[in-house]
Amino acid sequence: MAFGFPLVLPSKYACGFDPIASLPTQRHLTQMLRDISNLSLQFILDQSIALLLAEFSALGLLVGDCISLDTKHIIAWVKENNPKAYIRERFNKYKQRTGDPDCKLGCKRRHNRQVLEPSITPANYSVPANTIAVGEYYWDTVQGSLLLKFQSGVS
């Protein structure tokens, strides 16, 4: 039993268990991911990397010739991301959110506009700067994946 999910052990799957009968539903998994501590996830990541490096070393593979990194933000499960909710300090990055203690304030889309010449403040029809939208801000967490290219090593 891993992570509280009993494994059903049929012989027809090469992985040694029936993934459809053994793995949790999406609802159960997302609830578990919300409840698990960051320290536990960091431990799993560190131990997974250590096991992979030990396996690569046993196979004689050299690590780290080519590295690719990709990140994906996941919008946090907090009330500050609900545009219909009235929240006084919605985008105060120094106030940690209670719904997801690991989330940070981030920008999903940002429009970078290059100003060719400095604009002069118009005498008529001026627009306050705090009403101009330059991006979409959310409280989110970031997940990353790392890809390494290996070459066979010679002992």
Say what the pLDDT of residue 155 is.
38
Say what the pLDDT of residue 1 is.
44
Is the separation of the CB atoms in 102 and 141 below 8 Å?
A: yes
In the predicted model, residues of the chain with pLDDT beneath 70 are: 1-5, 11, 64-68, 109-123, 125-134, 148-155
Is the separation of the CB atoms in 44 and 52 below 8 Å?
A: no
Phi, psi of 143, deg, nearest 5: -110, 140
Is the separation of the CB atoms in 67 and 148 below 8 Å?
A: yes
Mapping DSSP to helix (H, G, I), strand (E, B) and coil, where does residue 109 land?
strand
Q: Is the pTM of this model over 0.75?
A: no
**Separation of alpha carbons 104 and 140, rounded Å:** 6
Greatest pairwise CA separation for the chain in angstroms = 79
Say what the pLDDT of residue 154 is.
43
